[in-house]
């Protein structure tokens, strides 16, 4: 397996970070109709969005490390989980202080961000382990067929 992650593999992660920033920074009036409709169907729709955004943060970071060895991948995913939680907390403060009070500061959103990141950690660890195991198996089969 490769020793480092290709910079190009980080492109989805960078796009995801920008998407999170945009969605959480846009004025709240842009989402009122959508939020009210979603909350009428699923009362926790807003929390599910936060959960998905920050779980996706960890997933897309882990995606960049798929071809890297297992120890580096694990460390990268742990780091991404911590950074995702901190980014979620930071974005709540951005909403509180930098959106002219058009967005709400919420500890519940912070909790949803952290839970999403943690679930994202476990899912990404599982997914990368499966992928790396598959790649190792294929490499062994190639070596076995070459002999």
Using alpha carbons, select from 91, 114, 70, 122 the residue that is nearest to residue 17.
91
Number of separate domains in the chain: 1
Q: Domain containing 77: what range?
A: 7-146
Query: Is residue 90 domain-resident?
Result: yes
The pLDDT profile of the chain, 147 residues, written as one tens digit per residue, is 556 778 898 999 999 999 999 988 887 665 555 555 555 566 677 889 999 999 999 999 998 888 777 888 889 999 999 999 999 999 999 988 888 777 788 899 999 999 999 999 999 999 988 888 887 777 676 656 655
CA distance 33 to 101: 18
CA distance 136 to 1: 8
pTM of the model: 0.81
Query: Is residue 1 domain-resident?
Result: no
């Amino acid at each position: 397996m490769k020793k480092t992650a290709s910079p190009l593999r980080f492109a989805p992660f960078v796009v995801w970070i920008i998407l999170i920033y945009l969605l959480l920074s846009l004025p709240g009036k842009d989402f009122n109709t959508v939020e009210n409709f979603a909350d009428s169907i699923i009362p926790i729709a807003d929390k599910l969005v936060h959960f998905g955004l920050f779980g996706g943060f960890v997933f897309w970071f882990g995606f960049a490390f798929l071809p890297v060895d297992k120890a580096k991948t694990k460390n990268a995913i742990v780091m991404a989980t911590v950074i995702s939680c901190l980014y979620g907390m930071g974005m709540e403060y951005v909403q509180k202080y930098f959106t002219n009070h058009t967005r709400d500061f919420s500890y519940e959103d912070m909790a949803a961000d952290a839970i999403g990141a943690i679930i994202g950690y476990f899912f990404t660890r599982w997914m990368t382990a499966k992928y790396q195991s598959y790649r190792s198996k294929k490499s062994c089969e190639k070596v076995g067929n070459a002999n």
